[in-house]
Amino acid sequence: MASNVALPQCRVCQTPYKFGGPAPYLLPCLHSVCKACLDSDIDGTMSCSICRETFFKTVRAKDAVTARAVFLATASQSAAELFCTNRDDGNQAISWCQECEAFLCHDCMTSHSENKSSKDHSTVSVEDLVKIGKDYRRKQHCQEHTTYPLAMFDHDCDELLCLACRVQGHKGCDVGSIQEVYNFLKGQTLPEYISKLTEKMAANNATEIALTEFDAELERNRARMKVSIRHTFQELHEMLQQREKEIIQRLDKCLDIQKRENSESLAEVRLMTERCDTVLDFNQRCLDLSTPSDLFSMKRNIEARTTACTRVKLPFVRSTDSLPTFTKNWLEDVKAKVAAYTCVSGDYLPMDGLEENFPDVATAQRYRREKQLQHWRVELQKVEADMTELQLVYDRDLRHATELRKNLEVAPLRQFISSVLNPFRSRRSQSIAS
């Protein structure tokens, strides 16, 4: 065989099928698997490479469609390189025997036509087989009675029959022509399946297109949202910076006023200190150096200056409590609002990890309690609906019981009981009398 023939392959091990080799088997997903994968003891399961589904290794039906595809691909794509499969002698094949399912060379064709058991077999030349293609149909023979073709279908037993099977074991069954069943399956059942699958495929394609468009819109929306978020927080940052500058300017102005007042008071106190120091120094020197007459002559000046220094009031000194402070009132509320602020709305917001979405624990707990309350409201509505349904069932059963009770006649029941007990009573009275 030519190596460039595009043959179907196993959907588990990816090995191409070979005409004349082991027949492919059918997986539940309607993809084929080779006999080697089915008989492998490595694992109890196998995975389809197309559907990505895993199946247990059980007895599978043979995939006749794939086997036929392998046959047609071999005949149509490599007709010039087909070799005799009757004796495997390497000779060029010139015909195909439909009964033996074998390619025949010139010598095998001659002996095949001269043999009594095979001279009546229907053969097709390779050229005609390529022209017929998928329209070629071969007769299938019964596996139990190999000389009889399958010509009937048992509707009761749901199986194909040959004439011998019909006579031996299916005399009382509803049997029809295999061609009629084939025409019904091909003309109604399969087209109906194809129509349903076509509609499903159209719906799948429309959904896929919608999902693809939505995915693209998600990416576009992501870009737009990021730009909007950056601009929004940039504005907030600029506003905060501007507010920071205003507060700092106001703080500087307040502190400058207080500092100027404090500097003036400090200068006044220092001046008073210098004056008091001068008077104190002069009084101390008077104690050491002055004579009685000198001290008496300067007494009035010393008294006036000392009185003036001691009577001057000291400036008001502010306490540290009067210093300006940066108040943080409402700061926690602002933080909570900033943490809860979002421009994202929709059904895909995270419901867990609220502490990450809301740094303020109180806000996160309040949000969680509201969600929990909403959940229990929904559950309560479900319970109320179930109770209503149970009440309806109870009322219906109660009505039925009431009707049965009304329809029950007591008198006939008593008559029935009396008729049953009378024989026993009569026998008992006879025994007593005797």
Is there a single domain that holds both residue 300 and residue 193? yes
Q: Is residue 134 part of a domain?
A: no
Q: Is residue 386 part of a domain?
A: yes
Band the pLDDT of 145: cuts 50, 70, 90. Answer: confident
Residue 54 has pLDDT above 80, yes or no: yes
Residue 25 has pLDDT above 80, yes or no: yes
Is there a single domain that holds both residue 197 and residue 317? yes
Task: Judge whether 272 and 309 are in contact, CB under 8 Å.
Answer: yes
Q: Rounded to whole angstroms, how far apart are CA atoms 228 and 222? A: 10
- The count of C-alpha atoms lying within 13 angstroms of the C-alpha of 94, restricted to the half-sphere facing its C-beta, is 8
Task: Judge whether 106 and 94 are in contact, CB under 8 Å.
Answer: yes
Is there a single domain that holds both residue 195 and residue 291? yes
Q: Is residue 376 part of a domain?
A: yes
Q: Is residue 99 part of a domain?
A: no
Question: Which of 277, 299, 326 is at the close of a domain?
Answer: 326
Q: Is residue 369 part of a domain?
A: yes
pLDDT of residue 234: 92
Choose the most confident range, by mean pLDDT, from 308-312, 379-383, 390-394.
308-312
Phi-psi group of 422: left, alpha or beta (phi > 0 → left; psi -120 to 50 → alpha; rest → beta)? alpha
How confident is the prediction for the chain on average, in pLDDT?
Answer: 78
DSSP 235-249: HHHHHHHHHHHHHHH
Residue 185 has pLDDT above 70, yes or no: yes
Band the pLDDT of 242: cuts 50, 70, 90. Answer: very high
Is there a single domain that holds both residue 269 and residue 202? yes
Is there a single domain that holds both residue 387 and residue 321? no
Task: Judge whether 181 and 158 are in contact, CB under 8 Å.
Answer: no
Is there a single domain that holds both residue 316 and residue 370? no
pLDDT of residue 213: 92
Q: Rounded to whole angstroms, how far apart are CA atoms 350 and 344? A: 11
In tens, the pLDDT along 98-143 reads: 777 677 887 787 777 777 777 777 777 777 766 665 555 556 777 7
pLDDT of residue 346: 53
Is there a single domain that holds both residue 202 and residue 322? yes
Is there a single domain that holds both residue 281 and residue 189? yes
Q: Is residue 39 part of a domain?
A: no
Q: Is 178 exposed, middle or buried (0-12, 13-18, 19+ CB in 10 A)?
A: middle
Residue 406 has pLDDT above 80, yes or no: no
Q: Is residue 241 part of a domain?
A: yes
- Give me the count of residues in the chain: 434
Band the pLDDT of 314: cuts 50, 70, 90. Answer: confident
Residue 88 has pLDDT above 70, yes or no: no
**Cβ neighbours of residue 263 closer than 8 Å, sequence gap 6 or more:** none
**Cβ neighbours of residue 61 closer than 8 Å, sequence gap 6 or more:** 25, 26
Residue 359 has pLDDT above 70, yes or no: no
CA–CA distance from 422 to each of 13, 257, 430, 434 (Å)? Answer: 86, 125, 12, 18
Is there a single domain that holds both residue 281 and residue 359? no
Is there a single domain that holds both residue 266 and residue 318? yes
Q: Which two tokens stand for residue 56?
A: 């247990």
Give the rounded percent of residues in the chain with a pLDDT score beyond 90.
Answer: 9
Q: Rounded to whole angstroms, how far apart are CA atoms 86 and 115? A: 14
What domain range includes position 306? 183-326
Q: Rounded to whole angstroms, how far apart are CA atoms 201 and 220? A: 28
Answer with the residue of higher pLDDT: 176 or 426. Answer: 176
**Cβ neighbours of residue 312 closer than 8 Å, sequence gap 6 or more:** 272
Is there a single domain that holds both residue 215 and residue 349? no
Reduced to 3 states, what is the DSSP secondary structure of residue 104? strand
Pairs from 338-347 (Cβ < 8 Å, separation ≥ 24): 339/363, 340/367, 343/225, 343/228, 343/229, 343/232, 344/225
Question: How many structural domains compose the chain?
Answer: 2
Is there a single domain that holds both residue 261 and residue 382? no
Q: Is residue 233 part of a domain?
A: yes
In single-letter form, the type of residue at position 383 comes to: V
